[in-house]
Structure 1
Amino acid sequence: MSESSRSVPAALQDPGARRHPAALAHRGFSPDGHENTLAAFRAAAELGFVWLETDVHTTLDGVVVAFHDPTLERVTGTSGNVNDLTWEQLRELRIGGTEEIPTLTELLRALPEACLNIDVKDEASVAALPGVVAREHAAHRLRVTSFSESRRRRALAGITRLTGRRAKTSAGTLGTAGFLAVAAVAPLTDKVSPRVAHALWAAHRAAWSRVVAPFDTLQLPERHTVELPLGRRVTVRIVTRQFLDLAHREGLRVQVWTVNDPADMDRLLDLGVDGLITDRADLLRDVLLRRGQWPPDPQD
């Protein structure tokens, strides 16, 4: 048995002896830009996608809707904030002039076989989302995430409290930053023993257990641009083979967003990522078909 295999629990040693990569349709699939609409979600489902990525905001009267921006202007041409309107007001608006804004309930009912990767975008949804999930018996169909660790943690706790189930979840900003810190030193500590990075990550989890909810997945871009003083920028590559190795040793899946070029899809899949999130569901399907990796695994 290798040093690496002794350093982590057996069940987590090779989550990568995996089936097919995960494929997530980012806000559905709509070449016309009608994102987060029932038409876009149905189009992705018709291509064979099981996992649909979406976002939620909540109206003034507590209705959870699939919508990305806090404001309405970009996709509806109407000024105002989602949180400031009632559902009766919001339902009159159209995305791209033609498509209705769907409620989360409508989406869950319209596509009962679909799984949703939900980004909790606002504070109101922390309270409202768990009730929808409980009423629709949908906890097993979700992955919950948010850039805000607080929103992610409290939304997950609400779902568990109302349903008795733990939904899948990907790391928020704080959890991702902690893992990146360990990943940065792992190439050095691995020269001593893989157990060092494992111990460092365990220490992070223990220290942050009250504020960072456990997660099973890291969803992040391949590269991140850091803004520096005097208008300078530095682009850092996050997803490397070493990063993936550590994630897999710790039982975490890595899904990269938002990948729309077939050459990038192939390159990242060759590198060993566990899944891709894309606006171009049609192109990702073609790539995975060509690679003999279609259909995607619904468990991811």
Structure 2
Amino acid sequence: MTIQAVAHRGYPRKYPENTLSSFQAAIELNFSHLELDVHLSKDGIPMVIHDHTIDRMTNGTGRVVDYTAAELQQFTIAGTERIPTLVEALALLKGKLRINIELKQMGNMYPGLEEKVLQVIEEMDAIQDVVMTSFDFDALEHMRTLSHDIPIGLITFSCSTAILDWSKSVNATFLSMHYGFVTERYVQLCQQQQIQLMVWTVNDKKVMEKFKHDPSILVCTDELEQWIETVHAATTA
């Protein structure tokens, strides 16, 4: 059975986040979607890691942008894993679930990030497998100028109707929102505009209970097996 939810950075409660083993665990649990994060290396290679530095996740220190891809992959995560390239991640994930790629752009910290990511996606024939998201309006608007076809969506805390207006202006069909700001009215507005709403990051069982009965909302979680148990309990009650 396919689990209609988003595996946040794979399965980070059991495996190091944004690693191939974490992604494989989400695949094996039959999740429908997965979220990952992308930065750009010094030599222009899209790398899958959440933070702008490697300090928290690896045995190294410093900014992602200050190392080449080869140098970044010399560092280890939890002793045995390494930072994947976007190519490696897509090779594993393509055709198995929908991939939410978050562009970790900040202003112009990564010149060419959008172009490089799109190039990888096109070369791997994965446009139908992905949605591009970001907190950065400019990054998404730039991505839209590069491709009229690739799905895009904003990540936000608020539920302003101005976001829906902006989404319409750039043909954004996805919206990632903190669960605490979601209202019934906003869900209805997203449905009317044919925007797929995703709520993040839902790890508390009580919050899971709130969203499990609404199939129009994608729930993003670190607690993959807990979400499965919650949904299964609802379908067998």
TM-score, scaled to structure 1: 0.69
Higher helix share: 1
**Matched residue type, 2:160:** L
Residue equivalent to 1:133: 121
CA offsets, 1:13-56, max 9 Å, x none? xxxxxxx9840000000324510000000001000013110000
**Out of 248, 252, 277, which is 2:191 matched to?**
248
**Out of 173, 176, 183, which is 1:216 matched to?**
173
Residue equivalent to 2:76: 94
Alpha-carbon distance in structure 2 between the residues aligned to 1:87 and 1:105: 12
Note the C-alpha offset of 1:290: 2.7
Greater relative contact order: 1 or 2 (C-alpha under 8 angstroms, separation 6 or more)? 1
Note the C-alpha offset of 1:250: 2.5
Whether the aligned pair in 2 keeps the contact of 1:244 and 1:272 (CA below 8 Å) is: no
- Helix, strand or coil for the counterpart of 2:91? helix
| CA distance 1:269–1:50, shift in 2 (3 Å) | closer
Whether the aligned pair in 1 keeps the contact of 2:202 and 2:220 (CA below 8 Å) is: yes
Unpaired runs of at least 5, structure 1: 1-19, 184-200, 224-237, 294-300
Residue equivalent to 1:14: none
**Out of 218, 225, 228, which is 1:285 matched to?**
228
Unpaired runs of at least 5, structure 2: none
| Aligned residues with identical type, % of pairs | 29
Matched ranges for 1:1-300 at <5 A: 22-32=4-14, 34-113=16-95, 114-122=97-105, 123-124=110-111, 125-158=113-146, 160=147, 166-173=149-156, 180-181=160-161, 204-205=165-166, 209=169, 213-223=170-180, 238-270=181-213, 274-292=217-235
Alpha-carbon distance in structure 2 between the residues aligned to 1:87 and 1:272: 39
Note the C-alpha offset of 1:109: 1.0
Bigger drift between 98-107 and 149-158 goes to 149-158
Aligned length: 229
Alpha-carbon distance in structure 1 between the residues aligned to 2:103 and 2:232: 32
- Helix, strand or coil for the counterpart of 2:7? strand
CA offsets, 1:190-232, max 9 Å, x none? xxxxxxxxxxx6xx459x84xxx22112211122xxxxxxxxx
Alpha-carbon distance in structure 2 between the residues aligned to 1:276 and 1:132: 27
Whether the aligned pair in 1 keeps the contact of 2:155 and 2:177 (CA below 8 Å) is: no
- Helix, strand or coil for the counterpart of 1:106? helix
CA offsets, 1:65-109, max 9 Å, x none? 111111010111421111110111111111222211111101111
- Helix, strand or coil for the counterpart of 2:47? strand
Whether the aligned pair in 1 keeps the contact of 2:173 and 2:195 (CA below 8 Å) is: yes
Q: Which has the larger radius of gyration?
A: 1
Whether the aligned pair in 2 keeps the contact of 1:21 and 1:274 (CA below 8 Å) is: no
Alpha-carbon distance in structure 2 between the residues aligned to 1:221 and 1:205: 18
Whether the aligned pair in 2 keeps the contact of 1:71 and 1:80 (CA below 8 Å) is: yes
Residue equivalent to 1:17: none
**Matched residue type, 1:259:** V
Whether the aligned pair in 2 keeps the contact of 1:168 and 1:216 (CA below 8 Å) is: yes
Whether the aligned pair in 2 keeps the contact of 1:51 and 1:116 (CA below 8 Å) is: yes
Alpha-carbon distance in structure 2 between the residues aligned to 1:77 and 1:269: 38
